[in-house]
Amino acid sequence: MAGDHAPLYGHACQHSGFLEASDSGQSVDLGIYLSQIASAVMQAHAVEGVRLNLKVDTWPVSINVAMPAGLVVNEVLTNALKHAFVGRSGGTITLHSLVDGEGCQVLVMDDGIGLPPGTTWPTSGRLGALIVESLRKNAGATVAVTTSAGRGLRVAIQFARADAAPEAA
């Protein structure tokens, strides 16, 4: 449903002032940006008993990296809140965006029921597949998705330092 996603981007962009013009183009702090998305999604789809485990490093990246990363995180978090804890009293959603010498790993996962048998995410032809593809192409990211029944879904996004730098835009 488009209504699931609509309010978030405009809201985050307009109200938080996280976009800054700099000499080398537009740069966004990935950790702060993803935190803002996570709190907006949690607010929009509040599910009782679901806890967010949030841990981010601040890291300036090109807007061409931040935007698709934010879209994927929005999609995966929304899915976790909608689907992961059906029939359960709650659980934990994890969002980590951690930086080391190599680059940054963004990890979004839940400890819920996992994808139903025969289902994959992203599903080709759906919104999720398009934004994951855009993250790979525009940001040079690798995206790994793993799931197992009863043990949740895990999406790991890896950016190389050089690909994500604001001046690489």
Name the site residues for ligand ATP (rule: CB under 6 A). Answer: 1, 4, 79-80, 82-84, 110, 112-116, 119, 121, 123, 126-128, 153
* 74 is a contact residue toward Mg ion (CB under 5 A): no
Using CB distances below 5 to 8 A depending on partner kind, what does residue 1 bind out of Mg ion, ligand ATP, none? ligand ATP
Using CB distances below 5 to 8 A depending on partner kind, what does residue 30 bind out of Mg ion, ligand ATP, none? none
Closest CA to 54 of 93, 81, 103: 93
Closest CA to 135 of 160, 98, 152: 160
Closest CA to 30 of 14, 40, 22, 19: 19
Cβ closest to Mg ion, residue 35 vs residue 79? 79
Diameter of the chain by CA atoms?
A: 51
Q: Which residues have a Cβ under 8 Å from the Cβ of 129 and sit 6 or more positions away?
A: 122, 123
Please identify, among the stretches 15-23, 37-45, 50-58, 75-83, the one whose residues bind Mg ion according to the rule CB under 5 A: 75-83
Phi-psi region of 155 (alpha: psi -120 to 50; beta: other; left: phi over 0): beta
Please identify, among the stretches 79-87, 96-104, 134-142, 155-163, the one whose residues bind Mg ion according to the rule CB under 5 A: 79-87
Q: Coil, strand or helix: which one is 157? A: strand
Using CB distances below 5 to 8 A depending on partner kind, what does residue 121 bind out of ligand ATP, Mg ion, none? ligand ATP
Round to the nearest angstrom and report the end-to-end CA distance of the chain. Answer: 31
Cβ closest to ligand ATP, residue 28 vs residue 109? 109
CB of 78 to ligand ATP, least distance (A): 7
Using CB distances below 5 to 8 A depending on partner kind, what does residue 136 bind out of ligand ATP, Mg ion, none? none
Binding site for Mg ion (CB under 5 A): 79
